[in-house]
Amino acid sequence: MKNIEQINLGTNGPLVSKLGLGCMRMSSIWGGPTPDETESIATIHAALDNGINFLNTGDFYGAGHNELLVGKAVKGRRNDAFISVKFGAIFHNGQWLGMDLRPISIRNFINYSLTRLGIETIDLYQPSRMDGSVPVEDIIGTVADLIKEGKVRYLGVSEITSKQLRTANSVYPVSALEIGYSLADRQIEGELLPTAKELGIGVVAFANTAEGLLTGEMKAPLAANDYHSHFSRFQGDNLIKNLEKVEVLKALAAEKGVTPTQLAISWVNAQGDHIMPLVSMSKRSRLSENMAAMEMTFSAGEMEKLNTTFASGTILGGTYLQR
């Protein structure tokens, strides 16, 4: 396998891999089973071996399980890994309760994260979203203090508005914006992406397949117990019409001899040198496929077909990205 390209995370940020490894699915999600830990750790090791150094986790993934797992994986390989941690989301019995972004809580969260990860400094630390309960200045100012204390290296933000991004960057330089971005979720192209580019902030783009919609494997109707059924995008006529558009993606993938998932990742990668696709994996078998997606290119005609078919607003219904 070919080592992955590296980019600067923001104008003055650190050098990281152009493809990021999302570790969330290595822990229990929505009450589901926990994947095999040995395979998850092996997947992280394989990613590091191939130059994918950006590892993304959250202190609330699996109630701390994810950080513990990442900590095991990077033990003895700390210098190979760039660790990104999200904080602030509060869960109980697998149910999301809200956010806690108070400065006193952030100072508490960071110490638990450092202990679980078994490291002295988190490379990128970011509130998982802003809910208006605490002023942006207070949240960012607290992380800036943690940077001065040596507990954090760089500031990140996630799921934030353009106005909030400007405010955050005025308090302390933001290195990275983590945000959902895919052919099916392009609303951030209006203001947020241009603002990030203007300010020299790197973009870490997750949900490249729009929660599975763009994999080409989804069929209507979904099973009654499928968690996707909670979101309007995957309900009734919305899902039927959305899957009609996915047929265009599937046809193009077949022409190119690749998978729809690879096309979806490659499209995100092609949106700019400052944009990093963040892809969740828990098995080594997915690594080569996702790395190959980073090498793909599009003709002008292919890109126009995708951009027209999946123009902003053409996918009906929402997901948790609009929560």
Q: What is the pLDDT of residue 226?
A: 85
Q: Which of 168, 112, 166 is CA-nearest to residue 143?
A: 168
Q: Is residue 131 part of a domain?
A: yes
Mean pLDDT of 25-38: 86
User: How many domains does the chain fold into?
Assistant: 1
Q: Which residue is listed with tokens 């998850």?
A: 40
pLDDT tens-digit map of 94-104: 788 899 999 99
| 161, 164, 272 from 103: Cα distances, Å | 20, 17, 34
Q: Is residue 61 part of a domain?
A: yes
Mean pLDDT of 47-76: 96
Q: What is the CATH number of the domain that holds 27?
A: 3.20.20.100
Please indicate, yes or no, whether the overall pTM of this predicted structure exceeds 0.85.
yes
pLDDT tens-digit map of 119-176: 999 999 999 999 999 999 999 999 999 999 999 999 999 999 999 999 999 999 999 9
Q: Is residue 65 part of a domain?
A: yes
Q: Tell me the residue range of the domain where 266 lies.
A: 6-211+261-296
Q: Is residue 239 part of a domain?
A: no
Q: Is residue 223 part of a domain?
A: no
Mean pLDDT of 183-203: 96
Residue 318 above 90 pLDDT?
Answer: no
Q: Is residue 228 part of a domain?
A: no
Residue 320 above 70 pLDDT?
Answer: no
Catalytic site residues?
Answer: 61
- The token duo for 32 is 């589901």
pLDDT above 70 coverage of the chain, percent? 98
Q: Is residue 254 part of a domain?
A: no
CB 203 within 8 A of CB 275: yes
Q: Is residue 98 part of a domain?
A: yes
pLDDT tens-digit map of 68-119: 999 999 999 999 999 999 999 998 887 888 999 999 999 999 999 999 999 9
Q: Which of 129, 131, 96 is CA-nearest to residue 227?
A: 96
